[in-house]
Amino acid sequence: MIISLYVNNMFVFCTSMNVMYNTKYFLASKFDKKDMAKVSVILDIEIIRRDNGIMLTQEHYVEKLIKKFGHFYMTPVSSPYDVNTQLKKNKGKVIARLKYARIIGNLMHTMCVDVNQISIISIGRR
């Protein structure tokens, strides 16, 4: 069994539903808690349950991000990089720079958030 704590949430991972129910009963006897049933998203990471295991993905978050910035229905194009082009400081409108900074910040969040940010406590078997 694994009990995962994040801010004010607790996640219990078990391979046995019997152990899960006993753990929930024990925690309810000691703490005021609300059972939110099966978790589907943690820290923008979607949990997909399959017969052969669990899959973690951020596809839904990236889709939400692309829609948020109005780029969801755009057609992808090839954008080759010319090595002879010299990059220069952006002297465009402040609004364009702010929007760009927000997009980059959100993309960095996607790259950096992972399950290692969750403090995990492993409980031994009885």
pLDDT tens-digit series, residues 93-119: 766 778 888 888 888 877 765 554 444
Secondary structure of residue 2 in the 3-state scheme: strand
Q: Rounded to whole angstroms, what are the CA distances from 11 to 20, 35, 48, 126?
A: 11, 10, 15, 20
Share of the chain above pLDDT 70, in %: 85
Round to whole Å and give the CA distance between 64 and 6: 23
Backbone angles phi and psi of 103, in degrees to 5: -60, -45
Handedness of CA 81, 82, 84, 87 (dihedral sign): negative
What's the pTM?
0.51
CA 2 to chain centre: 19
Contact assessment for residue 106 and residue 71, using Cβ atoms and an 8 Å cutoff: no
Give pLDDT, residue 42. Answer: 78
> What pLDDT band is residue 120 in, cutting at 50, 70 and 90?
very low
Note the pLDDT tens digit of each residue in 34-55: 777 777 887 778 888 888 877 8
The one-letter amino acid code at 105 reads G
Residue 123: predicted pLDDT: 42
Taking Cα atoms as reference points, which of 9, 14, 10 lies closest to residue 124?
Answer: 14
